[in-house]
Amino acid sequence: MAEIKIEGHKELRRAIRQTKDKQLRRAMRKAHKEVASIVSDEAKNKASKRSGYYARNIRPKGSDSSASVTISKKVPYRFAQHWGKRNSPNSQSGDAAIWRAAKDEREEILATFKERVESDILRFISRRSKIL
């Protein structure tokens, strides 16, 4: 699985959760979704384009704690397309477009996430210091 771990991400999420600030949590969701959209856009380009249905149904998701890219449940062959279909007379190899996109866009993902988190946290800190 293509997974990008960011050092200190768990501690950052914990600190944000403890502040109970909805705007900061919303900003974290937005940052995660922005990172996921980088991967999903690249995965759409890398996905096989026989009909285009598979590529059109690749979607970014962002939550408070993570970013992910999914393929809509409407696509009946999504697992075979990603993983491949091996034990059948019509075997095919999968394209793993999402994983390849995450691997290829790693540097951009890290830079975007760092920029997003730094700007949102600095804005949050400056807003808090004006109140106190």
pLDDT in tens, 69-112: 888 877 776 666 665 556 655 555 556 778 788 888 889 999 99
In one-letter notation, the amino acid at residue 89 is P
Q: What is the mean pLDDT of residues 15-29?
A: 80
Q: What is the mean pLDDT of residues 21-47?
A: 88
Burial of residue 69, with CB atoms counted within 10 A of its CB: 0-12 exposed, 13-18 middle, 19 or more buried: buried
pLDDT confidence bin for 41, thresholds 50/70/90: very high
Separation of alpha carbons 99 and 24, rounded Å: 29
In one-letter notation, the amino acid at residue 88 is S
pLDDT confidence bin for 10, thresholds 50/70/90: confident
Q: Provide CB contacts within 8 A for 55, sequence distance 6+.
A: 43, 44, 45, 47, 48, 49, 97
Q: Mean pLDDT for the chain?
A: 77
